Structure 1
Amino acid sequence: MAWNEPGKRDPWRGNQKGPDVEETLRRLRERFGNLLGGSGGRSGGTGGILLVVLAIVLLWTVADTVTIINAQEVGVVQRFGKKNRVLGPGMSFKWPRPIETVTKVATTRVQSLDDEVVMLTMDENIVRIRFNVQYQISNAEDYLFKLRDAEGTVKEAAESAVRQVIGGSEMDHILSGEGAELVSETKKVLQQTLDSYESGLAVTEVNFQLVAPPDQVKEAFDDVTNARENKQQIENEARAYANTVVPEARGKAARIKAEAEGYSAERVALAKGDADRFELLMVQYKTAPEVTRQRLYLETMQEVLTESTKVIDTTGGRNLINLPVDRLGGALNSGGGVLLPSDEAVRAKREGSR
């Protein structure tokens, strides 16, 4: 019978009883070979693969402890899934995964969102608003752990803010040139809403790209707009005309007033002068009445006859009268006459004087 038949003892092991070391090693080699994809009988190849695997794991572990954050980003570190710290730009060290993981968040990148709503205004008119919202991440931790859908959240919050602001305004106010005020109010309301959600987002810009009535009523609103523009044009022309006429009228009124004041001052001065002269004449008249009366008569006649073209001889022809020929010519041509003494009057005067 063979020595290795059942019930026979191994001649190499003698009479000792215990574990078979060779069998145990063989089984271990087979198991490692199956795990590494090799043959259990190739112990040398198995050891080389193990070394390669260990080297790769070591290099990956060392490399995974270093992380580089760009200047436009921040890194949020999670240790076993729990928020631990925030890394700034530059090279930093951490525990390898799965102990610590780093999520990089671009905090300086501006994101944009466009949307359009059709809604009722405060005076029950329908208006169409197309708006644009620009935002960026202000708090990386809140953005990662307290916000699930950033774009959806901004869209819903922006639409709510637009409806709140536009719904509280009248149509004329919305379509007028005061859109900047409405945009500013919308931005304020939107930021307050995002802050209440602790979204970690900051609104940088809000723009109304289109503010118009719906297409179904656009023609009627265009007529209203044209009427408003015509009204504004007429008012501007009226103001321009008023700015031209009013200064002229004021200048004319000032000139007339100045002339009236000058005439009044002149008449008052003449009246005062006449009164003073009359008082002086009264003094002279009381002193010499006849002389004063004669002088006043002569002065009056001189004043009256100075401009007259008629010559009257009251001396009966006894005096030689020099006629102003240069002045009598115009008077004769115009039908005026010169009163001269006749021959009969002269002779009668002479006889009477004899």
Structure 2
Amino acid sequence: MRKGECKVQSAKYKVQSTNRGQQAVAHHRRAGRLGLHFALCTLQFALVIGIYLLSGFFVVRGNETAVVRRFGAAVKNANGEVRLWPSGWHYDCPWPFAVVDRINLNEIRTLKIGDLEQDAPATNSFLRNVDPARQAQFLSGDKNILNVQISVSYRVSESAVGEFLFAAVSSERRLRTLAESVLADAMLLSGVDFAHTLGRNELRERMTADLQRLVREQRLGLTVDDVTIANVSPPLRVKAEFIDVMNARADKETAINQARAYSEQREAEGRGVARQTIDSAEVFRRQSVEAAKAEAESFSKLIAQLRSDEQSGRRSYAESRQLAMRRKYLDTLEEVLRKVAAKVVLDSGQAIDLTILREQKSSAK
């Protein structure tokens, strides 16, 4: 009995020892698997953290400028202004701790105010709702209705990027409201003729200046470059009558311009004729004065010669005078006969005396 019990106890001991060994091996295996799993989890977590940290890198393209909002507040420089990140690679806190806003400061944006009135509605838009923000009809100062369409050219101001991003919910929407207000005020201060044809340039300059002032006052962070009047037209119901009035006004302007051109032409011709007459009169005056001076000088020389002959005793003053007048008479008669176109010769058998100095000679005697 004792030998049998000993064998049983030894068998039990061997079985227990075997079970303990198997349990130890299983424990070691389980511990190894747990360590490997922990290592893999740590590696995956580190990889995820690394990828998450790498997501903080961001790229700013060449035509853009970036603004970083860190924990909801814009990053500023030492001067207290919003820091602008130039083009290139940059790093900051990953999302959601930092958000990057990219802005193209060189982009010229266009905002259109008003839609033109159509001749007939489209088949699929007969019951279309009218958007009040896109209406184009405005009341002028003389109580006329005009369809007006304008285009506003603007860009983001480099010195006020923070105002563009954070001062307003939508700067473009507020700019549209301001543009419509400026257009309505400008139309109320203008008549239909001024707004339609005569004062477009002045109206455009006025709206541009007013909109720039309001944008600065409202601190929208935008710079308005220009306001262009794309179209000004009457409503369709009165378009034909409006065109007739414009044609009549054009005919009136044409007639006035033609009359002014004719008046200026006649005035220029009159000034030319007057100047020509004055010049001719001046030339005739100078010629007459010179001829009179020459004749006076010649006569003075003749009188001096006559007195010289009288003093020398060659002949008397009266004889010298008579001789000089006869010579002058013959020279004049020769000059006159040379210019006569036809000559008449009288054959009466009597001599013809053509002298006119006989009475002067007798009187001189």
Say whether the fold is shared (TM-score over 0.5).
Answer: yes
Which residue number corresponds to residue 96 of structure 1? 94
Alignment of 1:213-228 (within 5 A): 213-214=234-235, 216=238, 217-228=242-253
Judged with a 3 Å threshold, the aligned counterparts in structure 2 of structure 1 residues 338 and 140 are, in CA distance, closer, same or farther, namely farther
For residue 204 of structure 1, the aligned residue among 216, 222, 225 is: 225
Which residue number corresponds to residue 132 of structure 1? 151
Give the letter for the 1:96 counterpart. Answer: P
In the TM superposition, residue 88 of structure 1 has moved relative to its aligned partner by 2.8
Which residue number corresponds to residue 83 of structure 1? 74
Q: Please provide the CA RMSD for this pair.
A: 4.1
Alignment of 1:222-237 (within 5 A): 222-237=247-262
Deviation string 1:22-57 (CA, Å, 9 cap, x unpaired) is xxxxxxxxxxxxxxxxxxxxx999979966873564
Distance 1:270 1:126 in 2: 85
For residue 195 of structure 1, the aligned residue among 209, 216, 229 is: 216
Distance 2:324 2:61 in 1: 116
Judged with a 3 Å threshold, the aligned counterparts in structure 2 of structure 1 residues 273 and 97 are, in CA distance, closer, same or farther, namely same
Give the letter for the 1:95 counterpart. Answer: C
Give the letter for the 2:249 counterpart. Answer: V
* 2:64 matches 1:73: yes
Question: In 2, are the aligned partners of 1:136 and 1:202 still within 8 Å (CA)?
Answer: yes
Which residue number corresponds to residue 23 of structure 1? none
* 2:170 matches 1:146: no
Judged with a 3 Å threshold, the aligned counterparts in structure 2 of structure 1 residues 120 and 302 are, in CA distance, closer, same or farther, namely same
Distance 1:300 1:266 in 2: 19
2:205 match: secondary structure = helix
> Which of the pair is proportionally richer in helix?
2
Give structure 1 stretches of 5+ with no counterpart. 1-42, 310-326, 342-354
Distance 2:286 2:208 in 1: 65
* 2:272 matches 1:247: yes
Distance 1:285 1:171 in 2: 98
Structure 1, 55-64 or 276-285: larger mean CA deviation? 276-285
Which residue number corresponds to residue 281 of structure 2? 256
- Tell me the TM-score normalised to structure 1 length: 0.63
Deviation string 1:262-294 (CA, Å, 9 cap, x unpaired) is 113322442454356446646766886973323
Compare relative contact order (CA 8 Å, sep 6+) and give the higher one, 1 or 2. Answer: 2
Question: In 2, are the aligned partners of 1:64 and 1:96 still within 8 Å (CA)?
Answer: yes
Distance 1:146 1:192 in 2: 17
Distance 1:171 1:270 in 2: 77
Distance 2:313 2:143 in 1: 102
Distance 2:347 2:53 in 1: 139
Deviation string 1:153-194 (CA, Å, 9 cap, x unpaired) is 222222233344454455555555764444233222212111
Q: How many residues align?
A: 280
Which residue number corresponds to residue 339 of structure 1? 350
Structure with larger Rg: 1
Structure 1, 189-198 or 300-309: larger mean CA deviation? 300-309
Deviation string 1:217-262 (CA, Å, 9 cap, x unpaired) is 3321232133213322432344345445533441232122211231
Give the letter for the 1:220 counterpart. Answer: V
Distance 2:104 2:285 in 1: 83
Question: In 2, are the aligned partners of 1:157 and 1:190 still within 8 Å (CA)?
Answer: yes
- Tell me the TM-score normalised to structure 2 length: 0.61
Structure 1, 192-201 or 284-293: larger mean CA deviation? 284-293
Which residue number corresponds to residue 31 of structure 1? none
1:98 match: secondary structure = coil
Alignment of 1:1-354 (within 5 A): 54=45, 57-85=48-76, 86=83, 87-116=85-114, 117-121=136-140, 127-138=146-157, 139-169=160-190, 174=195, 179-214=200-235, 216=238, 217-271=242-296, 273-274=298-299, 277-278=302-303, 281=306, 291-301=316-326, 303-304=328-329, 330-332=343-345, 335=346, 337=348, 339-340=350-351
Question: In 1, are the aligned partners of 2:57 and 2:91 still within 8 Å (CA)?
Answer: yes
Give structure 2 stretches of 5+ with no counterpart. 1-33, 77-82, 115-135, 335-339, 353-365
Give the letter for the 2:72 counterpart. Answer: G
Distance 1:140 1:162 in 2: 26
Structure 1, 48-57 or 79-88: larger mean CA deviation? 48-57
In the TM superposition, residue 68 of structure 1 has moved relative to its aligned partner by 1.7
2:107 match: secondary structure = coil
